[in-house]
Amino acid sequence: MSRIVYVNGAYVPEEEATISIFDRGFIFADGVYEVTAILDGKLVDFEGHCVRLERSLGELKMPMPVTAEELLEIHRELIRKNNLTEGLVYLQVTRGAADRDFAFPKDTPQTLVLFTQNKPLVDTPMARNGLKVLSVEDMRWSRRDIKTVQLLGPCLAKMEAKAQGKDDAWMVEDGLVNEGTSNNAYIITKEGTIVTRHLSNSILHGITRKAVLKVAAEAGMNVEERPFSIEEAQQAAEAFVTAATTFVCPVVEIDGVPLSGGKPGPMVKRLRELYVEEGRKAAI
Ligand code: PLP
């Protein structure tokens, strides 16, 4: 079914949406993106995504292409035009189209593209059954805190996991887990402490991560922000990942070792419920 998408100020059927072959997003992956979940036709954690977008752009010396208020209105209009109740809005900003040159062009209009995806987020097989993960060496660049569209490293990692019959990969550096291919990674120790890598340039500063850690603290759960190894993760009581459209998703196997009896554990289930409840309540 054809969607209405947004391209540089226009709402058009997806078949009619075009951008230049000289777009620097296409030539250099010179662009950043955001993905916002939609529940009940409303945006979850929109403000956090907007703040991170501005930060990613700033790190690449780009301004916001439109104001935060205008962005909100574009998201809402797309939700309305596509009758979306559950799914996501994808947004991408690039430095725009210019003759190919590594140096940034001056005064080139940025490209702004948004589209929706209609899909169930709450009731999913992943949430019911959990994920099997494979550890792989992290081959990405060193500014993973910037949400750029250069995602080939994670794509290859995910394909390696799939080739081995797993669902996702955890990317490891110097023996410690950075994050999943498109999510932040967590373990829950036998003592019930939630452990996740501290924020740095090594990982994306997940918007869901921030919200989940807040929800966990409010529920009286203990949280430690520090790196952990695959060996420590394999000894953990439970494990999970978080991302905007997967929320809190259980991990039930790491490199062939089952966790919590190979089924989603109780603390992860509780955290997921709490996050979805809070996310729905605060959605705009
Ligand atoms: N880490 C990586 C590498 C990601 O690509 C993502 C999401 O796409 C996340 C973490 C989770 O971030 P968020 O919770 O903001 O979706």
> What is residue 103's predicted lDDT score, i.e. its pLDDT?
98
Contact (CB, 8 A) for 247 and 208: yes
> What is residue 92's predicted lDDT score, i.e. its pLDDT?
98
Task: Supply the residue whose CA is at minimum distance from atom 4 of ligand 1.
Answer: 182
Mean pLDDT, range 171-178, rounded to an integer: 98
**Closest of 187, 142, 135 to residue 164, by C-alpha:** 135
CATH code for the domain in which residue 56 is found: 3.30.470.10
CA of 151, closest atom in ligand 1: 5
* Separation between Cα atoms, residue 31 and residue 16, nearest integer Å: 22
**158 and 104 share a domain?**
no
Q: Show which of 92, 118, 144 is a domain's final residue.
A: 118
**30 and 114 share a domain?**
yes
C-alpha 206 to ligand 1 mean position (Å) = 5
Rounded to the nearest 10 degrees, the angle between the axes of helix 266-282 and helix 207-218 is 110
C-alpha 90 to ligand 1 mean position (Å) = 13
C-alpha 209 to ligand 1 mean position (Å) = 8
> What is residue 65's predicted lDDT score, i.e. its pLDDT?
98
In this predicted structure, the answer to whether residue 1 has a pLDDT above a threshold of 90 is: no
Task: Supply the residue whose CA is at minimum distance from atom 5 of ligand 1.
Answer: 182
In this predicted structure, the answer to whether residue 257 has a pLDDT above a threshold of 90 is: yes
Task: Supply the residue whose CA is at minimum distance from atom 1 of ligand 1.
Answer: 183
**39 and 156 share a domain?**
no
**Structural domain containing residue 60:** 4-118
Task: Supply the residue whose CA is at minimum distance from atom 9 of ligand 1.
Answer: 183
CATH code for the domain in which residue 271 is found: 3.20.10.10
> What is residue 249's predicted lDDT score, i.e. its pLDDT?
98
**Closest of 3, 7, 152 to residue 92, by C-alpha:** 7
CA of 181, closest atom in ligand 1: 3
**204 and 252 share a domain?**
yes
**42 and 89 share a domain?**
yes
pTM beyond 0.85, yes or no: yes
> What is residue 104's predicted lDDT score, i.e. its pLDDT?
98
**Using 50, 70 and 90 to split pLDDT, how confident is the model at 120?**
very high
**Closest of 253, 251, 252, 245 to residue 276, by C-alpha:** 245
In this predicted structure, the answer to whether residue 170 has a pLDDT above a threshold of 80 is: yes
> What is residue 158's predicted lDDT score, i.e. its pLDDT?
98
**164 and 113 share a domain?**
no
In this predicted structure, the answer to whether residue 74 has a pLDDT above a threshold of 90 is: yes
**42 and 67 share a domain?**
yes
**Using 50, 70 and 90 to split pLDDT, how confident is the model at 250?**
very high
> What is residue 239's predicted lDDT score, i.e. its pLDDT?
98
> What is residue 54's predicted lDDT score, i.e. its pLDDT?
98
Q: Find the residues whose C-beta lies inside 6 A of ligand 1.
A: 35, 179, 182-184, 204, 206-209, 242-244
Active site residues: 147
C-alpha 107 to ligand 1 mean position (Å) = 31
Mean pLDDT, range 221-231, rounded to an integer: 98
> What is residue 40's predicted lDDT score, i.e. its pLDDT?
98
C-alpha distances (whole Å) from 252 to each of 58, 161, 224, 249, 264 are 38, 14, 21, 10, 6
> What is residue 254's predicted lDDT score, i.e. its pLDDT?
98
Convert the pLDDT of each residue in 134-154 to its tens digit.
Answer: 999 999 999 999 999 999 999
In this predicted structure, the answer to whether residue 126 has a pLDDT above a threshold of 90 is: yes
Contact (CB, 8 A) for 129 and 97: no
Q: Show which of 69, 101, 118 is a domain's final residue.
A: 118
To test ligand 1's pocket by mutation, which of 172, 183, 197, 241 has the most ligand atoms within 8 angstroms of CB?
Answer: 183
Q: Helix/strand/coil (H, E, C) string of 129-164?
A: HCEEEEEEECCCCCCCCCCECCCHHHHHHHHHHHHC
**145 and 102 share a domain?**
no
Q: How many domains does one find in the chain?
A: 2
Mean pLDDT, range 59-79, rounded to an integer: 98
**148 and 241 share a domain?**
yes
> What is residue 148's predicted lDDT score, i.e. its pLDDT?
98
CA of 245, closest atom in ligand 1: 16
Mean pLDDT, range 232-259, rounded to an integer: 98
CA of 207, closest atom in ligand 1: 15
In this predicted structure, the answer to whether residue 230 has a pLDDT above a threshold of 90 is: yes
C-alpha 164 to ligand 1 mean position (Å) = 23
**108 and 171 share a domain?**
no
CA of 147, closest atom in ligand 1: 5
Q: Show which of 97, 118, 139 is a domain's final residue.
A: 118
**152 and 73 share a domain?**
no
C-alpha 14 to ligand 1 mean position (Å) = 26
**Using 50, 70 and 90 to split pLDDT, how confident is the model at 189?**
very high
Task: Supply the residue whose CA is at minimum distance from atom 8 of ligand 1.
Answer: 182
**225 and 99 share a domain?**
no
